[in-house]
Structure 1
């Protein structure tokens, strides 16, 4: 019977919760309490080794009293963290089962069998006694945790003697779930520190049920420090897709979005960092953030203190009556804006005076974090990219790229780059957000061109160049204002920048672009061939992208004197075999380009050698 009972306890912990409902704590403790009573009764009925049985019964009686105290505490504490209790109860059940088996052997036996038991049980009593002493130590530690209102515990229970981290995790999660505010903050910071150390600690915190208490601490808003500690711990735990998904499955997204919209600035910074972390690792989390419209508070926070009004080209009336009417409208607009700001569910009680009082450094940190979150949310996501462009997000990003420097400017450029990358493969988004006559699209384009022309940092130049390349299909045939700056970077001393320029220009000159012929001629007119030929002598990737662009130019403007003077035909033929050995998919493109150049270049025989291997 006892072994069957043990099997029941151990197997129940391995059955998925959806299949078998988890036992209550009272039910979990009822079995070891029942076993303890049976051990004591069997010890009283022992015929042999009665002193050993009596000593064992005293240990079991002490353990039984502790188990009953645990039941009383479990009933009285509504938010009980029961993970260590269940684990310790399972161990105690196994130890009491062994004790029951042992004392039952000491009942009346006869003959040889009794002699055998008397020889073998003395050592067994010592072993079981040691096990029971360990169980007593575990319960003593557990009761001290429960009775201390969730304070931190540096002592170790015997069950965790070989793995001290387990005790620290249990103690910390218990404090986060049941402690006073200061204890909860300290415990959340302890979990954050443990999670930062290694993956094993992260896994242990998750397995021991740490995610829900941290989310609850974040949501409750007991103090700003508590929310920051919870958000930091969750960020450190969420270092891979699987653990991010566990936060999502715990309905954490709605809590995170709610806190982001209505918290102190320093809390919003931590929460925005958590959003960025989760969105970067899991596309499902990206979708859930989109569903709950996290881009709205992020864009709102990012655009604070920015004037996003677009100047009108219409002539302004200057008569006295019209000026009076304009002042009335402006006053009404300001009142309405203030009211909306005060009552907004995404700004809440912290969105006005408290945020205005924040230091510029703190406001900058918040914008940096929000921009990074938008960057990670938009990566590869049509839905999030569309959400950002449907607000004044694009205009906000353009203004910041224009006015700011450093990390904030970089994060906004990366956000633009990710949105344009999505738009490149999504015609609806491209048409809706990036028509060149749209004010927001024009503002973004102006800043991308400015960065390309005025900035010298490759970290800024590359995303700006890539963004324009992604939008290549949106530009009319003679958009010379874009072509010149891109062509100028074909000769950039930084090979990565030059390569990025070749890739972007390749998208303009590609046959998939309706205006490829006009764009190709513009590249040549801006004297793009000489730096392109120089790029062909660079590394593998730059050479490959340069050759692709050269092929497009040959297809679209094969009769160009610039291509003939630069010996483009010889360059293609000279590199064809080595390049095609690694990129056989380009064989048709090379063959067509060589054929076109052969047709137009004087003196070039039409029967040039084949590219066939």
Structure 2
């Protein structure tokens, strides 16, 4: 982004470098050190003005302006250092620009000292032009400093939102507005001003990507995180969470936010806040995990964000205990007690253990009562946001998926899939699907969470089968079918009940659903599945061959998964009369001539399937010749 009026320099520091230390810039200089240079330059200019021999009138005018600059710079030092939490980004930018102008003024005035004839001639010819250039630059620096001082009150606290335009941002008004809003968020003495500033930053970020970049580059993340953690009111914290959510729109932006140690703050606020705020924070987690999955997921896994999300999602959801263990109620209470003890320890509070235990119980009971008194809409919004956050955290993450299964998350998700509809049901199904996909690649997770003798696993599978057959939308049916397919190796040979619903979906009118069913059945019948032979025969017994043959003729989208499934059936059940009646051999031979070029992945599989079918046909003919009817 260009530097407003004078084009001198660029915005070089990212949001990550904005807060190297309180009052310290990326280069390690504090405010006093940075302001000392222009004040020193101002003194040198005044000395040079006193020594000037030519253009005395013009030098005198420069001297007056420089005196005003020096006075305002000293005021800026007092105000910028009056508070340890000062927002110093505009100070550094404006002071750096003023120093450049003072350097030019010093060089010009020094040329007006007594010198040789030739130098005086050159000075006379160029001096007027140079003074006409330097005077407006000094005026602009005075305007910048006047604006800067208006942003800060005399005691160093924010003086409220300032929407006037300093000269440094005359060609880019957004810059000065962002400075003013960030300063108010960080230093504002009025809660209403801080809320308004945070909401305005959220709206600016929502407008376009350039605004987001400016807010991030000008150090807006740290003040927003501070407001989220320690805001004077819930509305202030919600405004901060909304602004951060709008900033988290691509991987680069999310990386900057996470680099500012945002995750521990977010998880802390999520664990212990009113429901309205928890809803907004859960949505923020979804945004971070969506745009920078691996890094965000690992950070949230390290902070164990899954546990409070599952606890919030399971609030008022009846969970039947298959065996004696800690209830969700006791889990939440234990978390509340731990958070309270941690907070009292961190603040250095004193008192006996019994009194602290009593306080924590009172705190928890009060917190629970507040939750129970919330409206149904607020509770529903929180569950939707938590389910979405779990979905995004579990996508491609074995660690977070395992944490969900270890906190009774599967049983909770199953109950919500059964009783809910709409967005909440969708988010829960997508979460289960991602956990199943993770279990497909991790045998330990598959064994620990999806043994069908476990009530939670059985309940989840039952709900997936129900959705796969009676889904309210193709997206839900596809997700449920994909989840069942991902769990193919978790089912024993006796559990063929999951196959028939998938076989029925082979004939679905929607080609996406039919193709997903073929993919899922392929995972049951592939050689890597220990029960592949048994499953292949069960698919044929459930009359899966006729719809499969129709699927192969229905279009390119379904051709590859259909061919793969047919090959697996040929490998494991070539002797089936259903395969012969369907003329599977001819279909595969035709595919070998045409489909291999389009789908090289089946180049090796097709010949094996054809060989098995041919071998069986030859054996059948020999058998009939030896034993004629």
State the TM-score, normalized to the length of structure 2: 0.88
**In the aligned structure 2, how far is the partner of 1:381 from the partner of 1:454?**
29
Query: What SS does structure 2 have at the residue aligned with 1:76?
Result: coil
State the partner residue of 1:264: 274
State the partner residue of 2:138: 132
State the partner residue of 1:157: 166
Which residues in structure 2 correspond to 1:442-591 (within 5 Å)? 442-591=458-607
Report the Cα offset of residue 541 of structure 1.
2.8
State the partner residue of 1:601: 617
Q: Residue 230 in 1 paired to residue 246 in 2? A: no
Which residues in structure 2 correspond to 1:281-300 (within 5 Å)? 281-282=291-292, 283-300=294-311
**In the aligned structure 2, how far is the partner of 1:386 from the partner of 1:311?**
19
Indicate conservation of the 8 Å contact 1:490/1:531, yes or no: yes
Inter-CA distance 335–195: structure 2 relative to 1 (3 Å threshold) = closer
Indicate conservation of the 8 Å contact 2:41/2:102, yes or no: yes
State the partner residue of 1:308: 319
Moved more, 45-54 or 142-151: 142-151
Inter-CA distance 337–46: structure 2 relative to 1 (3 Å threshold) = closer
Inter-CA distance 336–398: structure 2 relative to 1 (3 Å threshold) = closer
**In the aligned structure 1, how far is the partner of 2:392 from the partner of 2:582?**
43
Indicate conservation of the 8 Å contact 1:487/1:523, yes or no: yes
Query: What SS does structure 2 have at the residue aligned with 1:345?
Result: helix
Indicate conservation of the 8 Å contact 1:470/1:507, yes or no: yes
Inter-CA distance 384–337: structure 2 relative to 1 (3 Å threshold) = closer
Which residues in structure 2 correspond to 1:66-81 (within 5 Å)? 66-81=72-87
For residues 362-397 of structure 1, the C-alpha deviation after alignment (integer angstroms, 9 at most, x for no partner) is 100000000000000011111101110011100000
Which of residues 378, 390, 393 in structure 2 aligns to 1:374?
A: 390
**In the aligned structure 2, how far is the partner of 1:228 from the partner of 1:10?**
32
Query: Can you give the 5+ residue segments of structure 2 that lack an aligned partner in the other structure?
Result: 1-8, 341-362, 623-629
**In the aligned structure 1, how far is the partner of 2:312 from the partner of 2:472?**
29
Indicate conservation of the 8 Å contact 2:515/2:557, yes or no: yes
Indicate conservation of the 8 Å contact 1:341/1:351, yes or no: no
Query: What SS does structure 2 have at the residue aligned with 1:546?
Result: helix
State the partner residue of 1:39: 45
For residues 258-303 of structure 1, the C-alpha deviation after alignment (integer angstroms, 9 at most, x for no partner) is 0001111110011000111111222112111111111111000000
**In the aligned structure 2, how far is the partner of 1:524 from the partner of 1:338?**
49
Count of equivalent residues: 581
Report the Cα offset of residue 342 of structure 1.
6.2
Inter-CA distance 45–32: structure 2 relative to 1 (3 Å threshold) = same
State the partner residue of 1:320: none
**In the aligned structure 2, how far is the partner of 1:386 from the partner of 1:337?**
17
**In the aligned structure 1, how far is the partner of 2:457 from the partner of 2:12?**
59
Superposed CA RMSD in Å reads: 2.6
Report the Cα offset of residue 11 of structure 1.
13
State the partner residue of 1:611: none
Which residues in structure 2 correspond to 1:95-494 (within 5 Å)? 95-147=101-153, 149-179=158-188, 180-282=190-292, 283-310=294-321, 340=334, 343=337, 345=339, 351-494=367-510
Report the Cα offset of residue 535 of structure 1.
0.7
Indicate conservation of the 8 Å contact 1:145/1:171, yes or no: yes
Report the Cα offset of residue 242 of structure 1.
2.1
Inter-CA distance 471–111: structure 2 relative to 1 (3 Å threshold) = same
Indicate conservation of the 8 Å contact 1:262/1:350, yes or no: no
State the TM-score, normalized to the length of structure 1: 0.90
Inter-CA distance 516–547: structure 2 relative to 1 (3 Å threshold) = same
**In the aligned structure 1, how far is the partner of 2:424 from the partner of 2:327?**
30
**In the aligned structure 1, how far is the partner of 2:611 from the partner of 2:493?**
26
Indicate conservation of the 8 Å contact 1:310/1:439, yes or no: no
For residues 235-260 of structure 1, the C-alpha deviation after alignment (integer angstroms, 9 at most, x for no partner) is 11111222212222211111000000
Indicate conservation of the 8 Å contact 1:342/1:352, yes or no: no
Indicate conservation of the 8 Å contact 1:598/1:605, yes or no: no
State the partner residue of 1:317: none
Inter-CA distance 582–221: structure 2 relative to 1 (3 Å threshold) = same
**In the aligned structure 2, how far is the partner of 1:556 from the partner of 1:524?**
11
Query: What SS does structure 2 have at the residue aligned with 1:380?
Result: coil
Report the Cα offset of residue 349 of structure 1.
7.4
Indicate conservation of the 8 Å contact 1:380/1:418, yes or no: yes
Moved more, 254-263 or 578-587: 578-587
Query: What SS does structure 2 have at the residue aligned with 1:511?
Result: coil
Moved more, 418-427 or 584-593: 584-593
**In the aligned structure 2, how far is the partner of 1:13 from the partner of 1:231?**
23
Report the Cα offset of residue 583 of structure 1.
2.2
**In the aligned structure 2, how far is the partner of 1:515 from the partner of 1:482?**
13
Indicate conservation of the 8 Å contact 1:47/1:107, yes or no: yes
Moved more, 354-363 or 73-82: 73-82
State the partner residue of 2:348: none
For residues 419-456 of structure 1, the C-alpha deviation after alignment (integer angstroms, 9 at most, x for no partner) is 00000010000000000101111111111111122224
Report the Cα offset of residue 604 of structure 1.
9.8
Inter-CA distance 568–188: structure 2 relative to 1 (3 Å threshold) = same
**In the aligned structure 2, how far is the partner of 1:126 from the partner of 1:228?**
51
Q: Relative contact order (alpha carbons < 8 A, sep ≥ 6): 1 or 2 greater?
A: 2
For residues 286-333 of structure 1, the C-alpha deviation after alignment (integer angstroms, 9 at most, x for no partner) is 111111111111000000001112367xxxxxxxxxxxxxxxx99x99
State the partner residue of 1:326: none
Report the Cα offset of residue 345 of structure 1.
3.1
Report the Cα offset of residue 10 of structure 1.
10
Report the Cα offset of residue 400 of structure 1.
0.2
Inter-CA distance 104–244: structure 2 relative to 1 (3 Å threshold) = same
Report the Cα offset of residue 150 of structure 1.
4.0
Indicate conservation of the 8 Å contact 1:472/1:508, yes or no: yes
Report the Cα offset of residue 524 of structure 1.
0.5
Indicate conservation of the 8 Å contact 2:13/2:218, yes or no: no
**In the aligned structure 1, how far is the partner of 2:111 from the partner of 2:330?**
85
Query: What SS does structure 1 have at the residue aligned with 2:604?
Result: helix
Report the Cα offset of residue 348 of structure 1.
5.4
